[in-house]
Amino acid sequence: MQLISWNIDSINAAIEHKSPRGEMTYAILKELAARKPTVIAIQETKLKATGLTTKQAATLDALFPDYYRYLNFSEGRKGYSGTMMLSLIEPVNVTYPKIGAPGEMDLEGRIITLEFPHTFVSTVYTPNSGSELARLDDRQAWDDAYRQYIQKLDQVKPVIFSGDFNVAHQPIDLKHPTANHHSAGFTDEERSKFSQLLAAGFTDTFRKLHPDTSDVYTWWAQRAKQSKINNSGWRIDYYLVSNRLFEYVTNFSVIDTGARQDHAPILLELDQYDL
């Protein structure tokens, strides 16, 4: 069984593909469809609260004809944040949870959870602390609320959850840890909260499989023109699983996106396990 997660940075840009970057994004979306994973989780859809346009819906229907589709939109800022999940298996229940996060974070469409007979499969787009860490206090409150939410799911049945967590956990998870020590995504506070999440009973699948592997990243800054060429990236996209599920995990990989900077999709494979 394969599962894929990706921060797409705008569904509309991918579907319209009127720019070179949009064309690259659309090509990646087509590649993901061709792989036919059991579940696809998408973050940062940037859709309006009115939902998909006719063209967007038609394109997704054509690319993913056999999938059930679920969307969570931002009710606050328009065309901001948002998540989507596609599943070949119809869930027994779908929720778009509000977790008691501060400010408008609960209104930004950041979480979708699919419940299957034996497992919860969830996706998250974690808020960024901001370029000057203006949102760091709220981000820490989010991390606490999110951890409590995932723990409650785990008490019912095991959880597979993925997304853009907006944190590089350890120095090995980004190219320049010293220079970025006080940057959003690598503050001591954010890293500590991620450690607390793992300590609550969950496994970072990539790092468990490859404890000492360096130079594997999932995001390269668009503003730095040479970031992808120099592999000057960050690993901030994760597949986490309840500890008791890790024995079924056989592979984690980052899907190659060529010259396209920003996030790359990540793939998780499990063997002899039914959702």
Distance CA 267, CA 31 (A): 12
Instruction: Please report which residue ranges of the chain form alpha helices under DSSP H.
Output: 11-16, 20-35, 54-63, 136-156, 188-199, 205-209
Residue 127: which of 85, 82, 171 has the closest Cα?
82
Determine whether the annotation assigns residue 44 to a binding site: yes
- First-last CA distance in the chain: 9
In sequence order, the 6+-apart residues with CB closer than 8 A to the CB of 179 are none
Burial class (CB in 10 A: 0-12, 13-18, 19+), 31: middle
Determine whether the annotation assigns residue 274 to a binding site: no
Instruction: Please report which residue ranges of 99-171 form alpha helices under DSSP H.
Output: 136-156
Distance CA 187, CA 177 (A): 10
Distance CA 41, CA 5 (A): 5
- 48 φ/ψ angles, rounded to the nearest 5 degrees: -75, 160
Distance CA 7, CA 43 (A): 4
Determine whether the annotation assigns residue 61 to a binding site: no
Angstrom distances, CA of residue 15 to CA of 109, 218, 222: 20, 22, 20
Could you say which of 67, 125, 146, 238 is catalytic? Answer: 125
Determine whether the annotation assigns residue 166 to a binding site: yes
Q: Is 210 a catalytic residue?
A: no
Q: Is 125 a catalytic residue?
A: yes
Could you say which of 9, 67, 239, 263 is catalytic? Answer: 263
Could you say which of 9, 106, 164, 237 is catalytic? Answer: 164
Annotated binding site for Mg(2+): 7, 44, 164, 166, 262-263
The set of catalytic residues is: 125, 164, 263
Annotated binding site: 7, 44, 164, 166, 262-263
